[in-house]
Amino acid sequence: MININQVINEMDLEGNPSNHRVVVAMSGGVDSSVTAALLVEAGYNVVGLTMQLYDYGKALKKKGACCAGSDINDARLVSSRLGIPHYVLNYESVFQDQVINDFVDSYLRGETPIPCVRCNQTVKFTDMFSRAKKLGASALATGHYIRRKNQSGNLSLHTGKDLSKDQSYFLFATTKKQLNFVRFPLGFLTKEETRSIAKRHELNVADKPDSQDICFVPEGKYADVVRKLRPNSVDRGDIVDVNGNVIGKHNGIIDFTIGQRKGIGVGGRKGVDDSNSILYVIALDTKKNNVIVGPKEFLSCNKIKISECNWIIDLPQKSKFKVLVKLRNSSEPVIGTIKANFDFSFVFLYFDEPQYGVSTGQAAVFYNIKKRSHVLGGGWITEAPNKLADNNIINA
Amino acid sequence: MKNQIYLDHNATVPLLKEVKKSLIDCMDFGPLNASSIHYYGRKGKDIIEVARANISQLINANKNNIIFTSSATEAINLLFSNFETIIVSSIEHLAVLYSSKSDHIIPVNQDGIVDLNFLELYLKKIFKNNKKILVSVMWVNNETGVIQPIKDIVNIAKKFQCLTHCDAAQALGKININLDEIELDFLTLSGHKIGAPTGVGALVYNNKTNITPQILGGGQEKGMRAGTENILGIRGFGEAARLMGMRKETNCSQVKFLRDFIQKKIKKISPETIIFGEKTKRVANTLLMALPKIPGDLALMKLDLESFSVSSGSACSSGKISQSHVVSAMGYDELASNSVRISFPPNDFILNSENLITTQELDKLAQSWSNL
């Protein structure tokens, strides 16, 4: 059983909870539902907001089915159970412009985008923020597993207590200013604790499975989304080896990501039975519309460029320093050395050990080398040259 | 329960207490399936026929020409399924716009009134190539409350041998509907707009046309709408119609006083407010307005949190608020996401049977509006 005072501490709002209106961003999942439940329990004046991001009817190809996604309905049921007002915000056009189109363009550039970060950056943490403020809220709370700390006015962002659910990778773009207003009351809980709180409150979402896919991509088939939205941008092309020899055909480079091993459509070299026989996607040549495959060694990458950096700390005195860096949400952080430009808006990062399968379009998130839980900031990987770059097949 | 001030009567009217009593009597009576031959069946049939008679009296229609449906939307869908060419106005309710699937759209002017010249020219152009044309224009617009020139529309349609339908869901209980005076071929109604429960509507039709049903089965409602009748809903609709019909004229002077009071107040303390259809004939209970810089959904949320239940644009079933096609059609594209509707009880009788709305509350509402 959790101590409700801990929730009040995490909320970091002065005075009696009942004097504060708190807006909860409710997705209809168990995490944001429990966030709302805990804040109601703690005595805050809670208002639930859910964003309608795309037309669910259209996404499911049901004509005339006016929206009404089941997640929105879940959010509504939870709000009703908790006795709080709940509203739906129509962000369809913003989401289409700023998230879906960006996602599609990124794929067509041969990158591997993470739309969830863009969504946090553009829709959730800008539009939702301003709406919460206009509704007179003292704070906006979300159900992310991440912690915000206030050490005598100095705000910082930290990984959630439940590292297996930590969402700091997706929230690196949170600005210091936003940290003034946003709260993450689940940061000190584990997923199991969250579920048991949901059960205690008899929320209908207590056993709802975690969402796995990108919300607007049915069944994880992202290439289908790209084909549907830009039917003329996806062409058949060649699969070539690292020496430029054509060894197969593909139906569109959007079906491939850097580092991919399975489902390439060309087998390993016959009769050779060593690790070099396994083929990986090494690069996507958008100019020639080629997929370049080769053995794993060609994926090795020593240095990346990270742009549009956001720092959640005071900028360091030195422009060269060591950090832990996460290159994917699911992977462990690795050690690297940052060399920043004058205003730290972009950096080069030199890995201590070469990394394999780094893709542009992904985020690189920095953590304190001495304290792994402390999120320093992050940015977007815009250059990730691997060994293939030396062979000069691309851009020839 | 917080003390919410309900100002969304165009969405639905609270169940009238007399209607509630009639429903309880009906529930207490026993098993009522109007198709049964026996005593209870006959009782059920009686209840339905009384309701039909009450509604027919209220609008001066032939009681044999009314069938009950689950909603005005269903009545409209049933009617439209019998026509290939349907001409609609640009400000119709979505029940008409979507179920007609029509490309024949008659525009409205900036006051929200159907362009009669356009209608006439349009019919002139297409009537020769189309055998069976239905012209469908609503009597009262649900968002603006603007009253359409139904008589003129019917006269124009008749010139070209077109049939006419009027969605009168928002007119019933607000203005007098007299089918003796206006030769409409079809009229559709909704029970819950006059204090009956939700879930019952009606299609009123003339003698001349045969309607092919959409719902097939036991042949209820003269074979036009199968399915065991919603006897409670029908009873409630009939009772509400009886109550509305007890007064010769629909009296709305108190309602109009309240609407004009808040309108004046808002214009005074928030002069940048735009009021739609202000200069034309509107029903007495409706006020549609917008602030140029405030999205309607924000206004609605803030007013709701301050205990005022009002509405915005056309909210869909998910609660998402879309742009108002009515405001767009009137030429105010830039305000289509900003409109907010206040709707008082439809008439003085309903106003007085509910908790009265006070001018102090309206002062507070005007204040909240100006603070948006």
- Taking only the tens place, the pLDDT of each residue in A73-99 is 999 999 999 999 999 988 888 888 888
Q: Do A281 and A321 have their domain in common?
A: no
Q: Given this model, what pLDDT does residue B356 score?
A: 79
pLDDT score for A122: 84
Q: Are residues B24 and B154 in the same domain?
A: yes
A89 chain-B contacts, CB cut-off 8 A: 297, 320
In a domain, A165, yes or no: yes
Rounded to whole angstroms, how far apart are CA atoms B368 and B299? 9
pTM over 0.80: yes
A57 CB neighbours in chain B (<8 A) are none
Q: How far is B320 from chain A (nearest CA, A)?
A: 5
Same domain? B100 vs B120? yes
| Domain range enclosing B53 | 17-245
Residues 6+ apart with CB under 8 A from B304: A85, A87, B310
CB contact under 8 A, B318 and A131: no
* Residue A229 included in any domain: no
Residues B291 and B237 placed together within one structural domain of the fold: no
Output the domain CATH number for residue A122. 3.40.50.620
- Residue A396 lies inside a defined structural domain of this protein: no
CB contact under 8 A, A90 and B317: no
Query: Encoding tokens for residue A18?
Result: 């009942």
Question: Is B309 in CB contact (< 8 Å) with chain A?
Answer: no
A267 pLDDT more than 60: yes
Domain boundary among the residues B206, B224, B245 is at: B245
pLDDT digit string, tens, across residues B25-79:
999 999 999 999 999 999 999 999 999 999 999 999 999 999 999 999 999 999 9
Residues B300 and B179 in one domain: no
What's the domain range around A283?
235-294
Tell me whether B334 touches chain A (CB under 8 Å).
Answer: no
In this structure, the answer to whether residues A178 and A34 fall within a common structural domain is yes
ipTM of the complex: 0.82
Among the partner residues B305, B317, B319, nearest to A47 by beta-carbon distance: B305
Look up residue B307 and give its DSSP letter: T
Domain total of chain B = 2
Does residue B101 belong to the interface with chain A, where contact is any CB pair within 8 Å? no
Number of domains chain A contains? 3
Q: How many angstroms separate the CA of residue B323 from the nearest CA in chain A?
A: 10
Mean pLDDT of B146-167: 97
CB distance A68–B301 less than 8 Å?
no
Among B213, B245, B277, the domain boundary falls at: B245
Count CB-CB contacts under 10 A for residue A263: 8
Quote the CA–CA distance of A272 and A359 in Å, as a whole number: 28
What is the C-alpha separation between B301 and B309, in angstroms, rounded? Answer: 9
- Would residue A230 count as lying in a domain? no
In a shared domain, residues B45 and B191: yes
| B189 and B256 housed in the same domain | no
A130 touching B (Cβ < 8 Å):
no
Same-domain pairing of B93 and B178: yes
* B23 and B172 within one domain: yes
**How far is residue B263's CA from residue B275's CA, in Å, rounded to a whole number?**
8
Beta strands in chain A (DSSP E): 21-25, 45-52, 86-90, 139-141, 146-151, 154-159, 182-183, 237-241, 246-250, 280-285, 290-294, 300-311, 320-326, 334-340, 347-356, 363-367, 374-383
Check residue A65 and give its pLDDT.
40
Catalytic residue ranges of A: 119, 215
The two tokens of residue A352 are: 């201590």
| CATH number where A321 lies | 2.40.30.10
B186/B264 same-domain check: no
Residues B229, B276: one domain?
A: no
Whether residues A275 and A348 share a domain: the answer is: no
Which distant-in-sequence residues (6+ apart) come within 8 Å of A116 by Cβ?
A: A170, A214
Instruction: State the pLDDT confidence band at B145, using cuts at 50, 70 and 90.
Output: very high
For an interface test with B, give the residue of A60, A70, A87 to mutate (most B CBs within 10 A).
A87
**Strand, helix or coil at B263?**
helix
